[in-house]
Structure 1
Amino acid sequence: MLNLFSRYVSVGVVNTAIHWLVFGLLIHLVSMTQATANLIAFCVAVTFSFFANARWTFKTKVTYSGYIMFVLFMGFMAGLTGYLSDIMKVPPLITLVAFSAISLACGFIYSKLIVFRDAK
């Protein structure tokens, strides 16, 4: 289980780097709004995360239904974290760090028990 979680964390680190890189490029090179850039960066990063976790972490087949479940769950968590942070007037950096921790723990459990439950 520790090895599995270590792989999941490794994918998460790369996933976060992809998200931040795409976000930064879209903001600075294409002059997109933060909302649009963040949505696109999230979509790119969560797609990478799903495929990397399916193949490398859980060593299972990629399925369309699994992809949809994963993206919707992670998107819901991102939106909920942002919404609650807005209500509580939490600084953006704290929101980012909190979401990273929440998505790591909840994402792993959800992936293992729901999305990739048939993995060997």
Structure 2
Amino acid sequence: MKGIPALAVIGIADGLIHWQIFFVLCSAVGLKQAASNFAAFCVAATFSFYVNALYTFEARTSVSAYLLFICLMGGLSFGVGSFADAHNLPGLVTVAVFSALNLSLGYGFFRFVLFRERLV
């Protein structure tokens, strides 16, 4: 499983993981959207990072690069959730907007920063 098909399958799994955790944390646990979005992102991103490193890019990367990714994109996930909390937006808007940002920015970060030695 390589290239675009691998990225698509992993991206869909990442999105499903993120959305499920987000809605469980918001609905069942009662967390705010900012905290729920951040926690869901961290779990889904860890899954994506590991699977992409293992199957898609077949490359190693540093822990510091991974932590940079988590900090930057995690901050963005928290920011999107905070904006939604402040404006009383529905959770569906929060995860949809962040998923679109994560898809484009996350892919670029994975391909051109984390795994730049072995391009697909």
TM bracket (short chain):
0.7 to 0.9
Q: 2:29 aligns with which of 13, 27, 32?
A: 32
Q: What SS does structure 2 have at the residue aligned with 1:118?
A: coil
Structure 1 Cα separation of the partners of residues 47 and 83 of structure 2? 26
Same amino acid, percent of matched pairs: 32
Which amino acid in structure 2 is aligned with residue 59 of structure 1? E
Gaps of 5+ in 2: none
How many residues in Structure 1 have an aligned counterpart in Structure 2? 116
Structure 1 Cα separation of the partners of residues 23 and 81 of structure 2? 19
Gaps of 5+ in 1: none
Structure 2 Cα separation of the partners of residues 94 and 114 of structure 1? 28
Q: What SS does structure 2 have at the residue aligned with 1:103?
A: helix
**Alignment partner, residue 40 of structure 2:** 41
Distance 1:25 1:52, change over 3 A: same
Which amino acid in structure 1 is aligned with residue 62 of structure 2? T
Q: Give the CA RMSD over aligned residues.
A: 2.8
Distance 1:69 1:6, change over 3 A: farther
Structure 2 Cα separation of the partners of residues 96 and 103 of structure 1? 10
**Alignment partner, residue 96 of structure 2:** 97
Instruction: Check the 8 A contact 2:77/2:98 in 1, yes or no.
Output: yes
Distance 1:106 1:5, change over 3 A: farther
Which amino acid in structure 1 is aligned with residue 12 of structure 2? V
**Alignment partner, residue 52 of structure 2:** 53
Q: What SS does structure 1 have at the residue aligned with 2:60?
A: coil
Equivalent positions of 1:1-120 (< 5 A) are 4-24=3-23, 31-35=28-32, 37-85=36-84, 90-120=89-119
